[in-house]
Amino acid sequence: MNKWEHQDERDLLALLEAKTYDMLSREERASLGAHISRETYERWRRLQLLARQSLKVGAGAQLKPDPTILPSLKTLMASRTRVKGPAPRLTLPLKKKPFRRQLSVYQAIAAAAAILFAIHISSNHWKQDVGLHAYPIFADSTSSSPQQIMLQDEDSVKDDSVLRLN
Amino acid sequence: MKQPGIFSENQLNEQPDELLMGLIRHGNEAAFEILYQRYSLKMLHYFHKMLGSQEAKAQDFLQDLFVKIIEKAHLFNPEKKFSTWLYTLAGNMCKNEYRSMQVRRILTHSDEWEQLCGKDPSPEVLMDQQQFEDSLDKALRALEPIHREVFVLRYQQELSIREISQIVQCAEGTVKSRIFYALKKLSARLCVYHGLIKD
């Protein structure tokens, strides 16, 4: 394929499909003249018209879809629909419930009981279990009065043991 | 998109292909039947020309094509044109067939051209439209698949250059170039019909 054909055949196709040689403008003819004769142009034009006529859908009336195709396709479609079940719901997935709503009353009671038990464990009684009251440092009665003991959180362990000793 | 089952049959008939595909995805048989009626004849002719005028094979391919539509409906992008997608599927089926059957090799070794371009065709042969159609079939079969495809899409299916470029996935200029090349080749191969073509 030479350079001219590569560049201009695209435009030539449009001309061939639209115009006879006689309908071409002077410029169009001039652009073609040096490369394509009138005879060649008309032959190509006639060929594409004949091809179009010959190939046109319906030209060969004897060619029709096999009548068994559609029923078999519908059967296939029905079977696929049955296997897959109903169409999926086009809704967003449910949001997760808030944590509070997921707890039942019994779970809430159990949780509260567990918390109270933990507080109980961390309070005074554990010291007796491990015997801390036996050590003198915890028995220093001058460190604070009973009223102060009630207000002090951080020193409650030590002072509480003093109270008990007194 | 509207949900299936809300259209009457008459309303369905008026719906665009793309919407029908959405319904087919949800298993709507009526929508499928309408789409089949719209395209089955066209696609049968397309396969007939693309596969060397073998009617049985064209019928098989037609069925396979619509099976693909059922099975691959979820792959169709409703924002794109349905016919473009359909012809792309059909074109790919033909290409696979060419590969598997090596049709090109068989056809290019055919000696039918010598008979076709004989020196002294009878006037009856020249003027016989059916004969011309048969010869055109043979000439098309001898073309490269890429040239045959665009030629059939343009002159049989009457698609625009733009649509063809989307189907074959190349530039519009390339499509024009291929069609023109096919036309030139056919003109050379249908040399016995120059008298007829000359009018």
Q: Are A12 and A36 in contact (CB under 8 A)?
A: yes
For testing contact with chain B, the best of A2, A6, A48 (most B CBs within 10 A): A48
Q: Give the nearest partner residue to A65 out of B44, B155, B198, using CB atoms.
A: B44
A60 in reach of chain B (CB within 8 A): yes
Q: What is the mean pLDDT of residues A113-129?
A: 76
Instruction: Determine the pLDDT at residue B38.
Output: 94
What fold is seen in the domain B1-101? Rna Polymerase Sigma Factor; Chain: A (1.10.1740)
Q: Which residues of chain B from 77 to 136 reach within 8 Å of chain A, CB to CB?
A: 129, 132-133, 136
Q: Are A80 and A58 in contact (CB under 8 A)?
A: no
Q: Using a CB-CB distance cutoff of 8 angstroms, which residues of chain A are in contact with residue B179? A: 13
Question: Looking at domain B104-199, does it have CATH number 1.10.3720.10?
Answer: no
Q: Which residue of A has its CA nearest to B25?
A: A87
- B29 and A65 in contact by Cβ < 8 A? no
Residue B138: strand, helix, or coil: helix
Q: In chain B, list all ranges with CATH 1.10.1740.10.
A: 1-101
Q: Which residue has the higher pLDDT, A5 or A13?
A: A13
Q: Residue A92 gets which letter from DSSP?
A: P
Taking the C-alpha atoms of residue B4 and residue A87, their distance in angstroms, rounded to an integer, is 9
ipTM of the shown complex: 0.71
* CA distance, residue B111 to nearest chain A CA (Å): 22
Question: Is A136 part of a structural domain of the chain?
Answer: yes
A134 is in which domain, residue-wise? 124-166
Taking the C-alpha atoms of residue B19 and residue B12, their distance in angstroms, rounded to an integer, is 9
Q: Are B141 and B107 in contact (CB under 8 A)?
A: yes
Q: Are A157 and A139 in contact (CB under 8 A)?
A: no
Residue B98 phi/psi, 5° resolution? -60, -40
Max CA separation in chain A (angstroms): 131
Q: In chain B, list all ranges with CATH 1.10.10.10.
A: 104-199
- B129 and A54 in contact by Cβ < 8 A? yes
Place of tokens 């999926």: A88
pLDDT tens, chain B, 199 aa long:
445 456 777 788 888 999 999 999 888 889 999 999 999 999 999 998 888 878 888 999 999 999 999 998 889 998 889 999 999 999 999 988 888 776 445 444 444 444 444 445 555 555 566 777 778 888 888 888 899 999 999 988 889 889 999 999 999 888 988 888 898 888 888 876 665 554 4
